[in-house]
Structure 1
Amino acid sequence: MPFFIPGSTTCVLCGKPIQQRVEATQLPLLDVASAPAFAPLVRRFVHRHCWEGYPQRDGYAHAARELILQANPEEITPLYFERDGLFLLGVPAARAFRVKDTWGPFEADVPAPKAARLAKGVLAAFEQQMTSEHALGSATWRLAPSKRGVVLTLSSEEEAFDQMEIPLTKQPAWSDLMRKLQQVATGT
């Protein structure tokens, strides 16, 4: 797995250095046997803006989605929700849930004891188009309305390390995922 080094790690799409972690995203795994054209991109870093304009973005996201659906052994990693490459998975060994979006791409673990509160806060931010911040131990989720949707920023110890815009078209799926997270976390 490649490591991110600010100013040294290059975007696999444009070839230019990525200056800050928050400008980058790491592409998810996929089955290179079924999508060999994407092999050079697997688990590599890209600028978010390069990824947003990448003409093969949907194809890559679909291939990554298919790998998760084919490889997900329910007894190890429960699959609670999936829609268009947006997943809610259980991580029992860590007492956590994993939110994974192959289209974003985005991945974050949510500690089980804080999951219901996070889900409630994210739903409120979407519904009321308001800025909100949610501490999950050393990590923080910050949501802020934008012209095209909601910007989600993940920080660790007050340093932003991931940021993506959830477009208005994807918010219904994210809302359904958060409702499911709330339901699973509370056992209702």
Structure 2
Amino acid sequence: MRLILLGPPGAGKGTQSARLKQKYNIPQLSTGDMLRAAVAAQTPVGLQAKAVMDSGGLVSDDIVIGIVADRIEEPDAKNGFILDGFPRTVAQAEALQKMLGSKNMNLDAVIELKVDEQALLDRIKTRVDETLKAGGTVRADDNPDAFKTRLEAYKVQTAPVSHYYAGKGALKSVDGMAPIESVTQAIDHILEH
């Protein structure tokens, strides 16, 4: 099962990825985690990434695709994987498609969690209020203003990826505002058909 989960911050991708990971016994792949692991393992692509990061630059799409290509060859990914937070741009989506094709692999599904932005903002406010009432600490980026910034970045950079996959007939949408269990059932329905 090879999947991409798309959706803005707070849509529930992490929650659903954890459930899919358990159900299908496949890893959830985060490009940040993969990048750090490749650097730590000193793989050829990891050494390239380290050189770029050490100079203060952003890691190129080619390097990220190389890291994904290496990662999906590992034993725990032989039954598939979940890409969460990648691809972030249409160029990355195109490069991913080309790389998977070179390995005779296809994606089984690209699922977008559709959400209402105002409801997401309300959700963040509620989470902050509940955390504070319980005496907890709120993360610096877990406030409505920071969330709006992240949401805008998503709309500009990543939302076009949905259109890319829709144009290929590969995008399936799920109501991310539904209760967690209903979202899980909707995703299961897509994957079973």
Q: Same fold (TM over 0.5)?
A: no
> Higher strand proportion, which one?
1
Q: Give the TM-score normalised by the residue count of structure 1.
A: 0.33
Does 1 or 2 have the higher relative contact order (CA < 8 Å, sep 6+)?
2
Instruction: Select the structure of larger CA radius of gyration.
Output: 2
> Higher helix proportion, which one?
2
Q: Give the TM-score normalised by the residue count of structure 2.
A: 0.32
